Chains A and B, each alone.
Chain A
Amino acid sequence: MNAQAPALRDPRLNRPEPLTPPLGDGGFFQRDRTIHPPAHAPGYKSSVLRSPRQSLLSLENSVSEITGPVFGHNDLGPLDNDLIRNYAKDGDPVGERIIVHGRVLDETGRGVPNTLVEFWQANAGGRYRHKKDTYLAPIDPNFGGCGRALTDDTGYYYFRTVKPGPYPWRNYVNSWRPAHIHFSVFGSGFAQRLITQMYFEGDPLIPVCPILTTIPDKDALDRLVAPLDLNASTPFDSLAYRFDIVLRGQRSTYFENRTAGN
C-alpha cells in the first residue's frame, strides 16, 4: 500500500539488531509508568475526579493480555488515510496541507506490522466536527477530521491532512491547546493499547499546555513532538511531519517455561 512512500529507516535504530529476550512467556515488558502522566494530575483539572486512588493491581500477562483484536484491509476504505479527500463535499478543506508519516515500533526497535492506527483532529481553525464542540471558529464543510491506516510490514504508516489549529478550552480561563493530532494504536496485544497526541515542532503553546505538561519526563514529552520533515514533503503541495510511535516490547515464546510449582 505504501508504494509511493518508501519505508524509512528509523534514525534511532543505530544498533546491530533489535533484541527480543528469548526466555520469555510472550508477556510484554513491564510498563514504565514514570514516563506516563499520572492518573491524578491536578494541573489538568478534569483528572481530579476521574483518577483512581487505589494502587493498580500488577498482573503478569496471561493470554488475555498478550492477545488483541486483529484488523485487516477489509476494515478500511480507500480514502481512510486521506483527510483532505475523505469528507470533501465541494472542494478541499482550508488549511496547510501536510503529510504525517512514521513507524509504529516496539521497545526492541522492531516495526509493528499490520496494526491499526486511528487519528482525529480539529480543523485548521481549531474547531472539531463534534456535536459537543461549541468553539466560535467555523466548521469546515470539506473536513471531517478523522482517518485511519494499517501499518505495512515494517510498521510504516502515513496519511494526508491539513494542519490543525490551536483552540481554547476550559481549564484555566486562558488555556489553549497546542495544535495536535490524536492517535489511537493497537499493537498485537491488548496490553499494548495506547492513545496519545502528536504535537508540532516549534509550537509556542507546547510548554504551557496543562495536558502535555502532565507528562513528568522531559524526554517523553519531547518524543510527542513531530519534527518538520522536509525530505518527505511534496514540493508545491504539502509539508511533512514525522511521528514515530513506540509500543511496549514483548518477550518471545521460543522456549516453553514452567511456572514454579507446576
Chain B
Amino acid sequence: MPQPLSYLKETASQTAGPYVHIGLIPAMAGFDIFEKNFSNILVTPSTQGERITLEGKVLDGTGTPLRDVLLEIWQANAAGRYNHPADRSAGALDDSFRGWGRAGSDFDSGLVTFDTIKPGAIIDKAGRKCAPHVNVWIVARGINIGLNTRLYFSDEEAANAGDPVLNLVEPAVRRKTLIATRGERAGKIVYSFTINLQGPEETVFFDV
C-alpha cells in the first residue's frame, strides 16, 4: 500500500430549498431582522462606470419562469479589476464597488434584476484579453448544486469573438445562450437575459 493522501473531501451540496430568502434575503420572506442587508444593487453614487440593469428570468424545462430562484453575480469593476487580493492585474481598484450582489426572482413574474455597472475587459494569466462578463451562480428548490454560468454583452461583438471561454463552447451555436442583449428603457441601459435550465436553448453551464 502506498502512503495515504490526507486531503479532506468537500462537503456535499444540498438544495437551497424554497425558503432560501429567509437566510439570504429576509425582506423577501416577509420580515426585517438584520441591521445590514445584502442586495441586488451593486453601485453607490461614487461607483465608476456605465450604469446598467441586468434583467432576466430562469426558465424550467417547460419554459416556466422559476419564481423562487436566487442568483448571485460576481464581476470586475469598470477597469476590469476584481475587488479581491488574488487579482493582481493593473486596473485600478474602485473602493465603492464590491462587485457582488444577490437577487431573488419576483414571486409572481420570476423576474430577476441587478443594478450594477458594465465591467471592463479582463486580462487573464496568459495575458489574453477576456471579453467583459458577469459570473452568475444560481440556486433554488430543485437545484441540487449551484449552477455556474456567465453573462456577456451583446454590444461587445469583437471582444466576444476573441474570448477564450466563449470559444471553448461547442457547438458554437450555444454561445448565444451566454449573451445578454443591450436595450434602453426610460433612459436606462438594460441588458436582458434568459437562462434556460433545459431544452434546445439550454444555457451553457460551467464546471468551474
Contacts and interface: CB of A to CB of B under 8 A. Distances in A.
A231 B34 CA distance: 31
A224 to B, nearest CB: 6
Interface in A203-238: 211-212, 214-215, 217, 219-221, 223-224
Do most interface residues of chain A lie in helix, strand or loop, or is the interface mixed? loop
A4 interface: no
A125 interface: no
Contacts of A130: 18-19, 21-22, 29-30
A63 B144 contact: no
A57 B207 contact: yes
B20 to A, nearest CB: 7
A75 B37 CA distance: 8
A64 B100 contact: no
B10 A146 contact: no
B22 A56 contact: no
Contacts, number: 270
A64 B163 CA distance: 13
Going nearest first, the 4 A-B pairs with the smallest beta carbon separation are A120-B23, A46-B142, A69-B100, A67-B84
Contacts of B109: none
Nearest to B23: A120
Nearest to A147: B23
Contacts of B82: 63-64, 67
Interface in A8-65: 12, 15, 19, 25-26, 28-29, 31-33, 35-39, 41, 44, 46-54, 56-59, 61-65
Contact of A68 (B62, B84, B139): B84
Contacts of B79: none
B11 A194 contact: yes
Interface in B74-110: 74, 76, 82-84, 86-87, 89, 98-100, 107
B207 A59 contact: yes
A44 B144 contact: yes
A76 B11 contact: no
Given A59-B206, A195-B139, A52 B147 contact: yes
Given A108-B8, A223-B9, A223-B12, 19 more contacts: A15-B6, A31-B207, A32-B9, A37-B13, A48-B61, A49-B62, A49-B197, A69-B98, A69-B99, A80-B34, A105-B8, A120-B22, A129-B30, A130-B19, A131-B29, A189-B84, A221-B12, A248-B10, A259-B126
Contacts of A188: 84, 86
B83 to A, nearest CB: 7
Interface of A: 12, 15, 19, 25-26, 28-29, 31-33, 35-39, 41, 44, 46-54, 56-59, 61-70, 74-77, 80, 86-87, 105-109, 118-120, 128-133, 144-146, 148, 182, 184, 188-191, 193-197, 211-212, 214-215, 217, 219-221, 223-224, 245-249, 253, 257, 259, 262
Contacts of A245: 11
B83 A70 contact: yes
A66 B87 CA distance: 8
27 contacts: A29-B7, A36-B12, A37-B13, A39-B144, A44-B15, A47-B15, A49-B61, A50-B140, A52-B147, A54-B202, A54-B205, A61-B208, A62-B124, A75-B36, A75-B38, A87-B31, A107-B7, A107-B9, A146-B33, A148-B34, A182-B14, A189-B86, A191-B208, A211-B15, A245-B11, A249-B7, A259-B126
Contacts of B148: 191
A224 B24 CA distance: 21
A236 B61 CA distance: 52
Contacts of B11: 194, 196, 220, 223-224, 245-247
B206 A56 contact: yes
Contacts of B205: 52, 54, 56-57
B168 A39 contact: no
Given A39-B145, A59-B165, A193-B72, A132 B107 contact: yes
Contacts of B87: 63, 67
A242 B38 CA distance: 28
